[in-house]
């Protein structure tokens, strides 16, 4: 599938950058004229992925998070959130609802579940000691342009 546009954003794993990442991705996707629901779902999924990197990947230090976005000619958006932190020992276990490695921080363990709910497809790859890549895909419904005949 042909890529129509792409972007890449690098941010430090600081909690205040979670909102920035969410808004930056929303601005990138805006060129497809998504519905408010579609934008909200993408922003929520990005927020969860970035928060996971901030809380789990780097724990007590600041690291780098890379966010990549691609828009394909069929109106599919791909978002990657990549960190170079500690990695996930058991990805399948981590994807289970309510699983958390930080119960003392009142973490709900619903991050991956939220991402899966709001996106059409979720892929998680991770290597202990090297980091994690979360790839999310969402098809944006193409609408008829205003004033077009039915």
For the stretch 65-78, pLDDT in tens is 999 999 999 999 99
17 is catalytic: no
Span 102-129, pLDDT tens digits? 555 555 556 788 899 999 999 999 999 9
- Check 48, 130, 143, 150 and give the catalytic one: 48
Q: pTM for this one? A: 0.86
- Check 107, 127, 146, 149 and give the catalytic one: 107
**Edge-first strand listing for the sheet containing 3-12:** 3-12, 64-72, 76-83, 131-139, 121-127
Q: What is the pLDDT of residue 10?
A: 98
Cα 77 to Cα 15: distance, rounded to the nearest angstrom: 25
5 is catalytic: no
- Check 18, 38, 41, 52 and give the catalytic one: 52
* Alpha helices, H only, 30-134: 36-52, 91-94, 111-118
107 is catalytic: yes
Q: Are 69 and 28 in contact (CB under 8 A)?
A: yes
């Amino acid at each position: 599938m042909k890529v129509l546009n792409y972007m890449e954003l690098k941010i430090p794993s600081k909690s205040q950058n979670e909102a920035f990442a969410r808004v930056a991705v929303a601005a990138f996707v805006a060129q497809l004229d998504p519905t408010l629901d579609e934008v909200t779902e993408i922003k929520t999924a990005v927020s969860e992925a970035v928060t996971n990197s901030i809380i789990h990947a780097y724990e007590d230090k600041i690291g780098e998070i890379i966010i990549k976005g691609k828009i394909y000619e069929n109106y599919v958006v791909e978002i990657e959130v990549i960190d170079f932190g500690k990695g996930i020992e058991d990805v399948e276990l981590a994807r289970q609802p309510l699983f958390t490695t930080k119960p003392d921080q009142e973490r709900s363990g619903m991050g991956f579940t939220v991402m899966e709910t709001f996106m059409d497809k979720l892929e998680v790859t991770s290597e202990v000691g090297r980091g994690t890549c979360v790839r999310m895909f969402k098809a944006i419904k193409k609408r008829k342009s205003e004033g077009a005949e039915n």
